[in-house]
Amino acid sequence: MENRCKTKVKMEEINIKNNLPNDVLEHIIKHLPLKDFLNLRIICRSWNDIISKAVVNKRCRHLVEIPLVFAQYVLDFAQYVDMRCFYSFLWSEGARYCKTPLLGPMNRCHGSIEGWLIVSDYSEKTFATFFLLNPVTNKRIVIPSKYYFPSNSPDQCDKKIFMGKMVASSNPCCDGADCILVGLSTDCCHIVLYKFYDDSWTMIEPDDSYSTFIDVEVIGKKVYVSTARMLLQSILVYDVDNCTTGSPKAEFLAYHPRPRSLEPRPYTSFLARDEALKYLYIIHMFDTWERKTRDVNTFQVFKLEVNNHVEWQIANLKDKVVFVSGLKSIVMLRDKFAGDKELIEENCVYFTLNSQCSIYPKSGLQLGKFCFTDSRIKYFPVETTDPWLVPSPVWFLPSVW
């Protein structure tokens, strides 16, 4: 009798699950974090089918996740990738998630865009192929056109050219037809554009031999490039939409905003954009090398309205949070992290850096937070790896699409 009752209850539970309306389940999905979303798919076959269709049709998505740090460790004299890890400042002390995405030893990650890693394949000597990888679903979007590297570089100290940072204009899964991929070469003398809608690569070089490219960001169909000429740094903009043949022409946008400091101090600048694609951000990071480590002192954040181009404004981060790295910087509203909002401190910059230099080769990955409210810096512990491997960290926003 008891077994019969248990069987009846189980059958009723299965019946309820199978008959749950699609719109109700989709409403539930929107209030779940990624982990619970993935677990929901394995409860029963009908739920898995509903969720799979919702993802394919892009009708609903889980809550926005807090970005992770994707770190790839390489030998500083080779392109061979020895190890990859995910890190988070929310995990327990020294923790890391070592599930390696489906990448080979000759694959390099150059950036990310809304759930996708931008990856190259250097298996061949004269050219590279590129693809975008979603580590959550293991889905790939392969770029069919090969990219052939220039045979020489204007920089005589950099005979062999590789790809450095890469950015994308939009999520390729949602807006693939209009997506633009932009890459900055390691010699800082070449920028390459790939337009998904006509499957072609376009190369951009500086207008003169005295200029170098420092950083790159893309907003819509416009590419914003941070450049340096002697001691003068400026922002150039390339309008891809108005260029039908050849390379787009550079237009001067603005000089770098001057650091708010009474005394000159060394700093590094990073470009970023906001989610509304309204502002171009430039983040100045002031740091020094002391005690054989890279010590971050402070940050300054400026923004420029891309459709107004009046002047740089000091960015108020009260309702925003900034994530900074050499390969990907993100500016997001703190309210976007609805499920984990309290875990993210407002008015802060979270940063991840490679603190290795030629003088102190055994330093490595750094993960920290700078708070503008009290001007204090907190470093998060990260599990150490082989000290001779160089980390190349990327901020990555996990998503199913």
Longest CA–CA span in the chain (Å) reads: 88
Residue-level pLDDT at 390: 74
Angle at 13 between CA 17 and CA 6, to 5 degrees: 160
Alpha helices in 137-240 (DSSP H): 172-175
Q: Do 223 and 332 belong to one domain?
A: yes
Rounded distance, CA 333 to CA 65, Å?
Answer: 12
Rounded distance, CA 391 to CA 75, Å?
Answer: 9
Quick one: how far is CA 58 from the chain centroid?
21
Q: Do 285 and 245 belong to one domain?
A: yes
> Domain for residue 62, yes or no?
no
Rounded distance, CA 86 to CA 88, Å?
Answer: 7
Amino acid at 136: V
Q: Do 44 and 128 belong to one domain?
A: no
Q: Give the CATH number of the domain where residue 184 resides.
A: 2.120.10
Q: Do 45 and 113 belong to one domain?
A: no
Q: Do 185 and 45 belong to one domain?
A: no
Q: Do 219 and 122 belong to one domain?
A: yes
Neighbour tally for 288: CB within 10 Å = 12
Rounded distance, CA 68 to CA 88, Å?
Answer: 5
Residue-level pLDDT at 208: 81
Distances (CA, A) of 37 to 47, 318, 340, 398: 11, 30, 15, 12
Question: Which domain-ending residue is among 10, 28, 56?
Answer: 56
For residue 153, give the nearest of 216, 203, 224, 218 by alpha carbon. Answer: 203
Listed as ranges, residues in the chain with pLDDT below 70 are 1-19, 75-82, 92-101, 151-160, 175-176, 244, 262-264, 289-293, 309-310, 338-339, 341, 356-363, 384-388
Q: Do 273 and 382 belong to one domain?
A: yes
Amino acid at 160: K
Q: Which residues of 376-399 are buried (b: 16+ CB within 10 A; e: fewer)?
A: ebeebebeebeeebbbbbbbbbbb
155, 161 in Cβ contact below 8 A?
A: no
Q: Do 18 and 143 belong to one domain?
A: no
Strand 376-379 to 365-371 pairing: antiparallel
Instruction: Take residue 239 and report the two structure tokens written for it.
Output: 């309008």
Rounded distance, CA 206 to CA 238, Å?
Answer: 12
> Domain for residue 27, yes or no?
yes
Amino acid at 331: V
> Domain for residue 401, yes or no?
no
Three-state DSSP state, 231: coil
pLDDT in tens, 138-195: 899 999 888 887 765 555 444 567 899 999 999 887 766 788 999 999 888 999 999 8
> Domain for residue 182, yes or no?
yes
Q: Which domain holds residue 289?
A: 68-396
Rounded distance, CA 84 to CA 50, Å?
Answer: 33
- HSE of 294 in the Cβ direction (CA atoms, 13 Å)? 24
Number of domains in the chain: 2
> Domain for residue 121, yes or no?
yes
Q: Do 23 and 86 belong to one domain?
A: no
Q: Do 114 and 239 belong to one domain?
A: yes
Rounded distance, CA 218 to CA 284, Å?
Answer: 19
Amino acid at 96: R
Residue-level pLDDT at 10: 46
> Domain for residue 63, yes or no?
no
Residue-level pLDDT at 120: 93
> Domain for residue 61, yes or no?
no
180, 221 in Cβ contact below 8 A?
A: yes
Q: Do 171 and 209 belong to one domain?
A: yes
Q: Write out the DSSP string of 244-262.
A: SSSPPPEEEEEEPPPPS-S
Residue-level pLDDT at 141: 92
> Domain for residue 382, yes or no?
yes
Q: Do 132 and 29 belong to one domain?
A: no
